[in-house]
């Protein structure tokens, strides 16, 4: 699908007020991302939002502290994705540091239990005899599960970040920045950020009670959890607002300094990433998929154990297993993507791509449908829901959206007008999940398309790349690549700088039969570039001598030598 390059605009007035030490290019990039003061660029921990503005956090702390004082058993209920795994690891590690001797975790297998604290999972939890259940990255939609736990005399604390329904579960405490009336200024925290804040508040309360002194326990340094917080935040693709940028930046610093849990180091090693030069993108595209593979194909407990172990050898063994699962996931995904593209090619849309798309196949793997939805969304620039068979007559769907369309709100509107169409749904702006009966799939697909179309504009549907402009030859340097990297972290809602321009094509060749390696000339200098997963029916193109590119500036390190490399997002022969 062809793409349109749109150059970002910025307010020149603010640039003159910006701190003089910032490079003009960096000032321009920051301004285009809505930065209006130097305060918004602060990345120190002292600039984090205070925990006391989170609704329900005081109640949660009181119940947690009581369990610790009385040495009651706490059971952490996690989720089967990377945010859920890191959230679980943060909770378990912190509670152990605080001196709790009986803490365990339980993660539902997606194929047997589905998402969150369901009544069926409570039955399993009952055998572990907890006094208190703490949900992480789930729970806000689990009314029946909370009621089942309470009926057994088990207290429940919900920590979550997903959008709530009109009513909240009857938990003993709920900490979620998106619940009604919450005053916490960042609504974008991942689940791992929420539980981190709860543990911060709990540590403060325990300190005020002189707990650590009485127990002869060193007061924990909570910054030691920030590697996990950074990984979960990036993996869940939540917007990197100021607060999240601080969390990710501080976590990346710890990872690069090799002050992280052995599991993260091991996952970076099997991903063949240089730990001392790790960026947020490495966490998102290399570490998170391997961690997620456990929850997609097997049991996320494997990933959680990788993040909990202090044994480097064991961590590497677990990381290797996760790597093998990720390879298997890739094979399944490749087959599903080929089937999806074949199905799309046989749909007669009369030259017009629908505003929203639903796809289903009897053979598709429900653990991989989210990735497939993302791939099709990227290819067609349309919101996509992919369905796979679940239990009995039920289908499980995973949705991915495009900027401009809040996918969870779309599902909420569908539910409002057709209350019996979906069995359940949940999620946030860019991703959501749902279940429904296969008998209503055709009707649902049409209703979903209509609701999405009513909210999308022609501009939303343009497959546009937003560029930060053109770099001059003297800006295409390794020093500039370092400067751009250090200006991050970059990610969702705070995108990595993208540039565009025309280059003379000096050399081109395929690598691994699908990537295009380029030598490009601009001015008197030649730079290398790589375009991943090109259309091999179009490239290499030996009749082409000049190209228009949209690209990101990166650094390539090989055999100890670092050099500038452009990562091509879009290439067009001219």
Q: What is the CATH number of the domain that holds 99?
A: 3.90.1640.30
pLDDT of residue 108: 86
- Give 319's contacts (C-beta < 8 A, 6+ positions apart): 263, 266, 267, 269, 270, 290, 306
Q: 160 with 234, same domain?
A: yes
DSSP assignment of 348-403 equals --TT---SSEEEE-TT--TTTHHHHHHHHHHHHTS-EEEEEE-STTEEEEEEE--T
Q: 442 with 472, same domain?
A: no
Residue 370 lies inside a defined structural domain of this protein? yes
pLDDT of residue 20: 63
User: How many domains does the chain contain in total?
Assistant: 3
Residue 35 lies inside a defined structural domain of this protein? no
Count helices and strands (H / E) in the chain.
Answer: 20, 17
Which candidate, 302, 267, 229, places its Cα nearest to that of 80? 302
β strands within 390-441, DSSP E: 394-400, 422-427, 431-437
- Give 495's contacts (C-beta < 8 A, 6+ positions apart): 33, 466
Angstrom distance (rounded) from CA 355 to CA 376: 13
Q: Which domain, by its residues, includes 554? A: 465-573
Which candidate, 194, 189, 207, places its Cα nearest to that of 134? 194
Cβ-contact 10, 31 below 8 angstroms: yes
pLDDT of residue 557: 78
Angstrom distance (rounded) from CA 190 to CA 232: 7
Residue 188 tokens, joined:
């974008």
Tell me phi and psi for residue 525, to 5 degrees: -105, 150
CATH number at residue 449: 3.10.310.30
3-state secondary structure of 436: strand
Angstrom distance (rounded) from CA 305 to CA 296: 16
Tell me phi and psi for residue 54, to 5 degrees: -80, 120
pLDDT of residue 2: 66
- DSSP secondary structure letter of residue 18: S
Beta-carbon-side half-sphere exposure of residue 39 (alpha carbons within 13 Å): 5
Q: 457 with 482, same domain?
A: no
- Give 199's contacts (C-beta < 8 A, 6+ positions apart): 90, 91, 94, 95, 222, 225
Q: 397 with 532, same domain?
A: no
Residue 514 tokens, joined:
């699908």
Beta-carbon-side half-sphere exposure of residue 394 (alpha carbons within 13 Å): 14
Residue 3 lies inside a defined structural domain of this protein? no
Q: 179 with 256, same domain?
A: yes
DSSP assignment of 531-573 equals ESS--TTT-S-TT--EEEEEEEEEEEEETTEEEEEEEEEEEEE
Q: 388 with 531, same domain?
A: no
pLDDT of residue 17: 53
CATH number at residue 495: 2.40.50.460
pLDDT of residue 21: 78
Q: 446 with 548, same domain?
A: no
| Residues of the chain where predicted confidence (pLDDT) is lower than 50 | 15
Q: 318 with 370, same domain?
A: no
Helix (H) or strand (E) holding 12: helix 12-17
Dihedral class, residue 253 (left if φ above 0, else alpha if ψ from -120 to 50, else beta): alpha
Angstrom distance (rounded) from CA 145 to CA 123: 10
Residue 12 lies inside a defined structural domain of this protein? no
pLDDT of residue 562: 86
Residue 363, burial from CB neighbour count under 10 angstroms (0-12, 13-18, 19+): exposed
Q: 210 with 319, same domain?
A: yes
Q: 3-state SS of 104-135? A: EEECCCCCCCCCCCCHHHHHHHHCCCCCEEEE
Measure the CA angle with vertex 177, ends 292 and 291; round to 5°. Answer: 10
Residue 521 lies inside a defined structural domain of this protein? yes
pLDDT of residue 350: 65
Q: 223 with 78, same domain?
A: yes
Residue 502 lies inside a defined structural domain of this protein? yes
Is the CA virtual torsion 178, 175, 167, 400 positive or negative? Answer: positive
- Give 274's contacts (C-beta < 8 A, 6+ positions apart): 557
- Give 218's contacts (C-beta < 8 A, 6+ positions apart): 212
- Range 262-283 burial, b when 16+ CB lie within 10 A, else e: bbbbbbbbbbebebeebbbbbb
- DSSP secondary structure letter of residue 21: T
Cβ-contact 88, 224 below 8 angstroms: no
Q: 474 with 456, same domain?
A: no
Residue 300 tokens, joined:
């996320």
Domain boundary among 429, 461, 493: 461
Strand order in the sheet with 74-77: 103-106, 74-77, 132-136, 155-159, 173-175
Domain boundary among 461, 488, 523: 461
Measure the CA angle with vertex 262, ends 259 and 265; round to 5°. Answer: 75
Q: 66 with 52, same domain?
A: yes
pLDDT of residue 391: 86
Angstrom distance (rounded) from CA 169 to CA 506: 62
Residue 6 lies inside a defined structural domain of this protein? no
Beta-carbon-side half-sphere exposure of residue 564 (alpha carbons within 13 Å): 22
Angstrom distance (rounded) from CA 50 to CA 45: 11
3-state secondary structure of 83: helix
Domain boundary among 461, 491, 514: 461
Measure the CA angle with vertex 64, ends 61 and 69; round to 5°. Answer: 120
Tell me phi and psi for residue 90, to 5 degrees: -60, -45
Cβ-contact 337, 380 below 8 angstroms: no
Residue 501 lies inside a defined structural domain of this protein? yes
């Amino acid at each position: 699908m062809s793409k349109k390059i749109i150059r970002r605009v910025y307010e020149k007035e603010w640039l003159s007020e910006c701190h003089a030490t910032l490079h003009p290019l960096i000032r321009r990039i920051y301004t285009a991302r809505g930065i209006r003061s130097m305060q918004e660029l602060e990345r120190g921990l002292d600039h984090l939002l205070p925990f006391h503005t989170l609704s329900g956090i005081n109640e949660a702390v009181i119940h947690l502290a009581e369990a610790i004082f009385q040495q009651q058993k706490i059971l952490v209920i996690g989720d089967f994705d990377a945010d859920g795994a890191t959230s679980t690891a943060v909770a378990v590690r912190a509670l152990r540091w605080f001196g709790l001797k009986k803490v365990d975790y339980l993660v539902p297998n997606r194929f047997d239990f589905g998402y969150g604290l369901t009544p069926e999972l409570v039955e399993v939890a009952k055998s572990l005899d907890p006094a208190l259940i703490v949900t992480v990255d789930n729970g806000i939609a689990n009314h029946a599960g909370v009621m089942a736990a309470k009926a057994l005399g088990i207290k429940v604390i919900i920590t979550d970040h997903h959008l709530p329904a009109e009513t909240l579960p009857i938990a003993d405490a709920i900490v979620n920045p998106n619940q009604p009336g919450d005053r916490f200024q960042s609504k974008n925290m991942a689940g791992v950020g929420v539980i981190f804040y709860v543990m911060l508040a709990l540590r403060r309360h325990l300190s005020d009670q002189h707990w650590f002194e009485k127990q002869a326990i060193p007061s924990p340094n909570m910054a030691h959890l920030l590697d996990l917080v950074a990984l979960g935040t990036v993996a869940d693709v939540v917007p990197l607002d100021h607060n999240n940028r601080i969390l990710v930046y501080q976590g990346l610093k710890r990872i690069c300094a090799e002050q992280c849990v052995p599991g993260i180091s091991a996952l970076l090693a099997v991903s063949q990433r240089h730990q001392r030069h790790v960026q947020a993108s490495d966490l998102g595209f290399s570490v998170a998929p391997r961690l997620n593979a456990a929850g997609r194909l097997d049991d996320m407990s494997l990933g959680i154990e990788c993040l909990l172990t202090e044994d480097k050898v064991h961590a590497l063994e677990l990381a290797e297993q996760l790597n093998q699962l990720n390879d298997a996931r890739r094979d399944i995904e490749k087959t599903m993507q080929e089937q999806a593209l074949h199905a799309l090619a046989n749909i007669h849309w009369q030259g017009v791509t629908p505003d929203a798309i639903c796809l289903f196949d009897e053979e598709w793997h429900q653990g991989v449908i989210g990735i497939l939805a993302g791939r099709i969304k990227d290819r067609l620039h349309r919101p996509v829901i992919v369905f796979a068979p679940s239990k009995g007559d039920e289908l499980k769907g995973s949705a991915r959206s495009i900027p401009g369309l809040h996918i969870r709100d779309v599902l909420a509107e569908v539910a409002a007008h057709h209350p019996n169409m979906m069995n359940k749904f949940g999620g946030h702006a860019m991703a959501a999940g749902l279940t429904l009966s296969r008998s209503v799939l055709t009707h649902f697909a049409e209703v979903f398309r209509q609701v999405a179309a009513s909210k999308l504009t022609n501009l939303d549907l343009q497959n546009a790349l937003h560029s930060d402009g053109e770099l001059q030859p003297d800006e295409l340097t390794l020093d500039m690549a370092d400067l751009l990297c250090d200006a991050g972290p970059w990610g969702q809602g705070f995108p990595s700088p993208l540039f565009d321009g025309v280059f003379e094509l000096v050399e081109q060749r395929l690598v691994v039969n699908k990537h295009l390696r380029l030598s490009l000339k601009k001015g008197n200098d030649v730079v290398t570039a790589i375009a991943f997963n090109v259309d091999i029916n179009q490239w290499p193109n030996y009749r082409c001598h000049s190209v228009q590119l949209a690209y990101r500036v990166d650094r390539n390190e090989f055999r100890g030598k670092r050099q500038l490399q452009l990562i091509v997002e879009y290439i067009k022969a001219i």
